[in-house]
Structure 1
Amino acid sequence: MNISRAFLVTGSLYLIVGILLGMYMGGSGNHTLAPVHAHINLLGFTLMTIFGLAYVMVPQLAGSSLAKAHFWLHQAGALILLALLFLMMSGSVAEATVGPVMPVAELAILLGAVTFAINLYRNAA
C-alpha cells in the first residue's frame, strides 16, 4: 500500500464532494450544511493532502506500520464523523441519536493524529 498515494487520492475525492456540496448550497441558498462542508474540506481534503505530502517528503515515515494505522484510523473516523454530521445537520437523524457515536469517530481521528505524531518522532530525520 502506497500511503502517500492513498491519502492524496482519498483527499482529492473529498475535495470533489466538498465542492459539490458548496455548489449545492450556493445554488439553493440553503447553507444549513455549511459545517459539514467545512469539515469535509478540512478533515477530508486539507488534512489528507498534508498527510500525503508529508509521507512523500519524508519517505521513511511511509514504511512503518504506524503509517497504515494512521491512514485507517483517519479514514474510518473522518468518514463516520462526516456522515453523522451530514445526517444530523440535514435533519435526517436527531442529534440525540448520533451524538453518542460522534465521540468514537472523533477519538479515531485523534488516535490517527497521535499515531502520525509518534511516527514523526520515531522516523523523521
Structure 2
Amino acid sequence: MDISRGFLVAGAVYLVVGIVFGAYMGGSGDHTLAPVHAHINLLGFTLMTAFGIGYRLIPGLAEGALPKLHFWLHQIGSLLLLLGLFLMMTGTVAEASIGPVFPVLEGAILLGAVLWLVGVIRHA
C-alpha cells in the first residue's frame, strides 16, 4: 500500500466534499452545519494532505506497520466522526445516543496522530 498516495487521494476527495458542502451552505444561507464543514476541511483535506506529503518527502517514514495503522485509524475515525457530527447536528440522531461514540472516534484519530509523531521523531 502506498501510504502517501492513499492520504493524498483521500485528502482530495475531502476537498471536493468540503467545497460542495460549503457551496450548499452559502447558496442556502443556512450555516448551522458550519462545524461539520470545518471538520471536513481540517480532518479530511488539510491533515490528510499534510500526512500524504510528509510520507512522500521523509525517507523511511512510510515503511513498516505503523504508517498503515495510522492511515486506517485516521480514515475510519475521521469518516465516522464526520458522519456522526452531521447526523447529530441535523437532528437525525440524538446527541445523547451518539455523543458517547465521539470519544472513541477521537481516540482513534489521536492514536493515529501519536503514531505519526513516533514516525516523525524516528525519521525526520
Shift of 1:65: 1.1
Partner of 2:69: 69
Cα offsets for 1:17-51 (capped at 9, x unmatched): 10111011001111111000000000000000000
The 4+ residue runs of structure 1 with deviation greater than 2 A are: none
Partner of 2:34: 34
After TM superposition, list the pairs within 5 Å mapping 1:15-34 onto structure 2: 15-34=15-34
- What is the letter of the counterpart of residue 102 of structure 1? F
SS at structure 1 position matched to 2:61: helix
Partner of 1:44: 44
Partner of 2:14: 14
Partner of 1:110: 110
Unaligned segments of structure 1, at least 5 residues: none
Cα offsets for 1:59-103 (capped at 9, x unmatched): 310112111011011011101100000001111111111100011
Equivalents in 2 of 1:86, 1:35: separation in Å? 9
- Report the RMSD for the aligned CA atoms in angstroms: 0.7
Equivalents in 2 of 1:60, 1:44: separation in Å? 24
Kept in 1: contact 2:59–2:123 (CA 8 A): no
Partner of 2:100: 100
Equivalents in 1 of 2:64, 2:41: separation in Å? 27
Percent identity between the two aligned chains? 66
SS at structure 2 position matched to 1:88: helix
For normalisation by structure 2, the TM-score amounts to: 0.97
Query: Number of residues paired by the alignment?
Result: 124
SS at structure 1 position matched to 2:32: coil
Partner of 1:82: 82
Kept in 1: contact 2:3–2:67 (CA 8 A): yes
For normalisation by structure 1, the TM-score amounts to: 0.97
